[in-house]
Amino acid sequence: QQPVQSPQAVILREGEDAVINCSSSKALYSVHWYRQKHGEAPVFLMILLKGGEQKGHEKISASFNEKKQQSSLYLTASQLSYSGTYFCGTEGGLTGGGNKLTFGTGTQLKVEL
């Protein structure tokens, strides 16, 4: 089943903060976060793994609550370049199985001056 992302859309003024949530109905091994600009390919932001390991960009932070099967992406001091659609991708199971991600439907974020 597809993870549920919230909010569906958000508009920020430059410098404001935002939180994007991703919730799954099944136990998760990993959560990925990607950003996609219009007409372009998704770009990697963060991986959060069962057990606490995280890999990603220094300026991006995220959390992974394994018990609640939820992840949140924290965008602080937003810049115009943060605009785009944010997707979470999840993989279930105890050990993962090949990066077979199930993606949410996305959160559209727009940063304005």
Partner 1 sequence: NAGVTQTPKFQVLKTGQSMTLQCAQDMNHEYMSWYRQDPGMGLRLIHYSVGAGITDQGEVPNGYNVSRSTTEDFPLRLLSAAPSQTSVYFCASSYDLNSPLHFGNGTRLTVT
Distance CA 63, CA 44 (A): 16
104 touches partner 1 (CB under 8 A): yes
97 touches partner 1 (CB under 8 A): yes
Nearest to 20 by CA among 100, 66, 78: 78
The count of residues in the chain is 113
Q: Please state the closest distance from residue 33 (CB atom) to partner 1, in A.
A: 10
Q: Extract the tokens encoding 35.
A: 């950003």
Give the chain's end-to-end CA distance (angstroms, integer).
37
Choose the binding region for partner 1 from 11-19, 48-56, 58-66, 69-77 (rule: CB under 8 A): 48-56
Q: Does residue 55 contact residue 64 with C-beta atoms inside 8 Å?
A: no
Our measurement of the distance from residue 83's CA atom to the centroid of its chain's CA atoms, rounded to an integer in Å, reads 14
Q: Please state the closest distance from residue 15 (CB atom) to partner 1, in A.
A: 28
| Count of residues near partner 1 by CB under 8 A | 27
Q: Which of positions 50-89 make contact with partner 1 (CB under 8 A)?
A: 53, 55, 87, 89
11 touches partner 1 (CB under 8 A): no
Give me the residues that bind partner 1 (CB under 8 A), please.
Answer: 2, 30, 32, 34, 40-44, 47, 49, 53, 55, 87, 89, 91, 96-106
